[in-house]
Chains A and B, each alone.
Chain A
Amino acid sequence: MNAKNTVIIDHKEVELNGEKNILELTRKLGIDIPTFCYHSELSLYGACRMCVVEVEGRGIVASCSTPPTPGMKILTNSPRVQRVRKTVLELLLANHDRECTTCEKNGNCKLQELANRFGIKRIRFGERDVKLPIDDSGTSIVRDPNKCILCGDCVRMCAEVQGIGILDFSNRGAKVVVTPAFNKNFSEVECVNCGQCSAVCPTGALVVKSETEKAWAAIHDPEKFVVAQVAPAVRVALGEEFGLPAGEIVTGKVVAALKRLGFDKVFDTCIGADLTIMEETTEFIERLQKGEKLPQFTSCCPAWIKYAEHNEPELLKNLSSCRSPQQMFGSLVKKYWAKELGKDPKDIYVISIMPCTAKKFEAARPEFTTEGAPDVDLVLTTQELARMIRETGLLFDQLDIESFDTPFGFTTGAGVIFGATGGVSEAVLRAAHELVTGEAVEEVNFEAVRGFAGLKEATVEINGTKIKVAVVHGLGNAKKLLQDLKAGKADYQIIEVMACPGGCIGGAGQPISTDPEVKKERARGIYNADKLSQLRKSQDNPIVAKFYEKWLQKPNSHEAHEALHTNYSPRGRILGEDIQLLSSRRKHKVDVAVCVGTCCYLKGSYDTLKRFMEKAEEEGIKHRLNLHATFCLEGCETGPSVRINGEVVSGVTPDKADQVFAEIVEKLPENHRD
């Protein structure tokens, strides 16, 4: 018996301190055991087999899934260990599309890095034998299955952290692929474009869609007046791309760089955030007074909005109708500022610099346009901006700082903290009491909503009413909260949801990092920037006040509604997928589609469908029906929906199935009901 709580690693005795696995222990000892599939925030998977070590008496084991036990003798670099690791790399490379030089992840790829680290110079096996189609159908993420090493990081990220699960494995053996349901493209499933899959992807299989060429084209187009807006989270992360520490505030350098790239004006999205606070807080106060549509959910996060549209149609009315800061900004520029400049909205080209991949989708939503021109023409992620800066050869860290242009350049600390989880709530709290009572709030720091806990709560009193605020980040946490809410286990008046863990600072457009400390540093940077701001509250922003005075009258006015608000509608989760159950070639037939999408399914549509099948059998009209199961008829609130010859009938619960079926029968000519 080994009485000591130690293990021997590479012939050295090491004390154990409750490490979960050998990998964690070796990292503490300064040994970076390679791995593709181990992420502390995801469940244990154990598939890549790069992290193997040799344990005396047990042979080769995966260090990620083996807890160290006292007395264990571990070798982290024995010949057997080396053989497995090198073989794994060689096997992965053999099956990988090795177009490294033209790959989006070139220089940022884990597979490339490890192949280099292990000195793999020769692949003894054949080439990849299939070329699968690349999915670039979406606005935000490009999926190239030919570069996938099947580590499953994206699958677990999407399912476990984001609670969505649009990606999973299909097929067996060497034919396994990671794919959305039915081999659909991202644009045809309930992907919310959060991009977290690409943030964990170790290779170029999932990458942010690069649109830098479009940006260059606009900049170089003499007809275009190119305007940038920079989101708060960008200024504490862009420096990482140029060797500066995470969290360092580089706002002035970002502005300088954008001007040097050729942007005509460089503005701050935070002003959109301040506007959002004015609108959203006013909206909340109104709902609170009327006691309706509560809790109010924030609507700044486009991935959350799309998630709600796909999965929570009944809650859409509870979402704040406010557009996001990005879209408020774009709308003001195109609707009002363009007029002041005497320009056609089409000639002003708004480029957002965002930490976010879902913003690309948001900007492309058809409702966000002015006179046919998109309010935001292009969204670049922090990563893409970094590439553009590198392309020009600018030495970012040596740039002299510059200030944002007017009029969209002056912001408050409240706008800046939008970049971290809890920030929107904190900004609302800084405003709410004052907007109701007119009394200024002294305490502006609401520590309870800061930090990285999955669910944060705060209770504040506004004019004598207790307001309960909940903050969640990561859609998986949001999903849990919604379940509790529906089960009556939770009660809040304001709920902030940010799709990405950590909020926008953890967006998938940010510089790639798997180190959890990086997000913490960025958050620290955000709160430092807030602290350094002259003004900390949105309602104090004089420029915002001027906008109301000049253009918008007052928060939630008709003008404000036109320019700054929007509405939402349910979305199907899987597009264009019908399952044909009965098909008829007869001339006289009825086409019936039963929705088996989530909402309708939960209301019993599957039983309705089964009943239809039975009735078709009973009445002997099976051969007269085209019967399909379909995924969404977008009548989620009034489901189960059934489409009969193109006409959607609502509320066809199983008990009404027979009655509706009779209507179907009536559509057939009398003499054809044989």
Chain B
Amino acid sequence: MIDSKTKLCELRDKWQAAFENEKARILVCAGTGCVANGSLEVYEALKKEVEGYGDYVTVDLIIEENKSGVSVVKSGCHGFCEMGPLVRLEPSGVLYTRVKAEDAKEIVDALVNGKEPVERLLYHHPTTGEIYKEEHNIPFYKHQNRNSLGHCGVIDPEDIREYIANGGYQALGKVLTEMKPEEVCQEVIASGLRGRGGGGFPTGQKWEFTRIAKGDKKYVICNGDEGDPGAFMDRSVMEGDPHKVVEGMAIAGYAVGADEGYIYVRAEYPLAVNRLKIAIQAARNHGLLGENILGTGFNFDLKIKEGAGAFVCGEETALIASIEGKRGMPMPKPPFPAQSGLWGKPTLINNVETFANIPGIINKGAAWFKGFGTEKSAGTKTFAITGQVANTGLIEVPLGITLREILYEIGGGLRDGKKFKAVQIGGPSGGCLTEEHLDMPVDYDSLLSAGAMVGSGGLVFMDESTCMVEVARYFMTFTQNESCGKCVPCREGTKRMLEILERAVNGEGRPEDVETLEELALAVKDGSLCGLGKTAPNPVLSMLKYFKDEYIAHVVDKKCPAGACQALKGYSIDPEKCKGCSKCSKVCPVGAISGEIKKPFVIDADKCIKCGACVSSCPFKAIKEG
């Protein structure tokens, strides 16, 4: 039981010393991505290997007996998911990539016997071929500032002592002993932190609104209902550094006058749920949650509410309805949750990453935080980079960085040297940006003015082979499925936008669709009840803004310039290349190809079902697609 700030500091020093006493530690990434790739087997193999050397000692023993040795620890996500399973060595900082269980022997042998790291497991740059020994030198990491992700991949998320040893709960101790609630709110306002869940509302102001709201009971809610396709920032924080979220929430509780909090996590994140449960229990056991925290008289406790995974439950009023056991549907605002939220009480609701930024701001000060990012978009932001980029994964960069830096410096450019076409930012609520935006700063306001949004931070990079109409259709399918169905524009409008887009990719587009789609998109944007509906047309609108020609090509010329839409593909035989071998006409399942032997064959476009069988059958590459 930690009953005072002094005790907290003592323990920090004690455990820090214990960890420093370790000879070395092997951190195996146990984030969802690496686990799926077999990192748990790697962990078991490494553990066995180290035990074989006889000086494997568990972390517990190190602390209790101040023994020195090599430990093997499961950590949270390192972010470089593309290269997983990842194994990181401390204190050397060596990062092994794509590790398999059978590599364990070599890894441990090199570590224990002071040999050079296993070269073939080190990161090889795909284009330059350069080999990187330490994690922080790899371009993927070099351009990042991992603040909120600072502990992810570095500490064992299931051991509160590691968090405390790394300065954990110091910020909570500081606010409880040195700051008044209004000062905490002021500090957060001064930091310029804006909501990391999408909207970008100034966090400090939200806190202040909730603080001054009248109410005998208030709540703090952490929104962990991350639902954008391809986004996993919040999951990684919850899995990799759950105590930071807990600490951020407790600080918020103190600042706004709440004694109870909820973490709303989707049930599809079982690992996050489990780690949060462990963290909450450990914090309770150590007196960092519960009653009279650190002997200051402040009470705060947390509950986890598992959501069923509806995208709309990321909308705060729908999320609150869901916690209350109702159908997850948004309510009109006002009243805002800060006035009347959970069970009608003033409620502060922030995203996971927002809370994870709080301890840093309190410990290092608002000025430190403002040192990152731009004037209006302070701090660092995590992004999940996916799509046709070489290095997919989770990154944290200062806001204001350009897309070009993210794509080429961190992401390593597009796969297979293909040409960049567009990047989808902010998931189904965001929009796509093009070549012309690559040097635009990535911050809340610049993105918004370009028709996209930071959103929760998903970045999907697309190359020239991507059809932008198809991308818009994909996101529209998602929003239509995830619409709660409450308000007319979102429920019916997304359905009809999808219908129009489906017509386009199926070659059934009508010329008047161009105008109808745009008008519908604008009405849905204006008319919808909640953020989900208001932003649902963004992928369509940005497609119409930047790729209108491509859309017109679909509906008017019935062509897909990217050659991606199957229904719009046309096949023809190049008479120059065709030798008249008849192979293609033999494989054609509908008899659409005819001709005389040794003379160029022809495809009857009316009969052709665009299956593509002829293309692969032709030994002379005479059949053209497109």
Contacts and interface: CB of A to CB of B under 8 A. Distances in A.
Nearest to B485: A176
Contact of A88 (B481, B485, B489): B489
A501 B327 CA distance: 27
A52 B332 contact: no
B494 A49 contact: no
Contacts of A66: 332, 334
B526 A67 contact: no
A132 to B, nearest CB: 14
B487 interface: yes
A187 interface: no
A49 B487 contact: yes
A80 interface: yes
Contacts of A168: 327
A173 B481 contact: yes
A92 B492 contact: yes
Contact of A172 (B333, B485, B516): B485
Given A83-B519, A87-B527, A46 B485 contact: no
A84 interface: yes
Contacts of B424: none
Interface string A158-176: 0000000000110111111
A59 B332 contact: no
A457 to B, nearest CB: 28
A660 interface: no
Contact of A125 (B334, B485, B499, B527): B499
B523 to A, nearest CB: 4
Nearest to A50: B488
Interface in B318-370: 327, 329, 331-334
A172 to B, nearest CB: 6
Given A88-B488, A91-B496, A49 B529 contact: yes
B470 interface: no
B334 A67 contact: yes
B224 to A, nearest CB: 20
Of B310, B481, B485, B488, most A-chain CB atoms within 10 Å: B488
B486 interface: yes
Given A46-B529, A84-B527, A91 B494 contact: no
Contacts of B526: 52, 59-60, 80, 83-84
Given A62-B332, A65-B334, A124-B516, A174 B491 contact: yes
Contacts of B415: none
B483 A174 contact: yes
B527 A95 contact: no
B321 to A, nearest CB: 12
Given A44-B332, A87-B519, A172 B527 contact: no
A227 interface: no
Nearest to A125: B496
Contacts of A80: 526
A173 B522 contact: no
A46 B499 contact: no
A353 interface: no
Contacts of B491: 150, 173-174, 176
Interface in A7-51: 44-49
B190 to A, nearest CB: 26
A81 to B, nearest CB: 9
A174 to B, nearest CB: 4
Contacts, number: 110
A291 B486 CA distance: 52
B404 interface: no
B87 interface: no
Given A83-B519, A87-B520, A172-B484, A49 B489 contact: yes
Contacts of B327: 168-169
A464 to B, nearest CB: 47
B216 to A, nearest CB: 23
A243 interface: no
A149 B492 CA distance: 10
B482 interface: yes
Chain B contact-residue range equals 35 or more
B495 interface: yes
| Chain A interface residue number, banded | 35 or more
B329 to A, nearest CB: 8
Interface string B487-530: 11101111110010000000000001000100110111011110
Contacts of A172: 310, 481-485
Contacts of A94: 492, 496
Interface string A168-205: 11011111100000000000000000000000000000
A46 to B, nearest CB: 3
Interface string A90-102: 0110110000000
- Identify the interface centre among A59, A92, A149, A176: most chain B CB within 10 Å of its CB: A176
A48 B528 CA distance: 9
A372 interface: no
B319 to A, nearest CB: 16
A88 B331 CA distance: 19
A87 B489 CA distance: 8
B68 interface: no
A623 B515 CA distance: 63
Interface in A119-149: 124-126, 149
A264 to B, nearest CB: 50
Given A87-B493, A173-B491, A173-B494, A150 B334 contact: no
B148 interface: no
Contacts of B524: 87
Nearest to B524: A87
A66 B516 CA distance: 29
A80 B516 CA distance: 15
A311 B237 CA distance: 48
A67 B333 CA distance: 10
Nearest to B526: A60
Interface in B447-502: 480-489, 491-496, 499
Contacts of A174: 480, 483, 485, 491-492, 494-495
A60 B522 CA distance: 11
A173 B499 contact: no
Nearest to A82: B523
A95 B524 CA distance: 16
Nearest to B497: A125
Nearest to B329: A169
B247 to A, nearest CB: 35
Contacts of A44: 331-332
Contacts of B527: 49, 52, 60, 84, 87-88
B493 to A, nearest CB: 6
Interface in A267-284: none
6 contacts: A88-B523, A168-B327, A173-B483, A173-B494, A174-B494, A176-B491
Given A46-B332, A49-B527, 15 more contacts: A46-B331, A47-B487, A49-B489, A52-B527, A60-B527, A83-B523, A87-B493, A87-B519, A88-B492, A88-B527, A91-B492, A92-B492, A150-B485, A172-B485, A173-B483
Interface of B: 310, 327, 329, 331-334, 480-489, 491-496, 499, 512, 516, 519-520, 522-524, 526-529
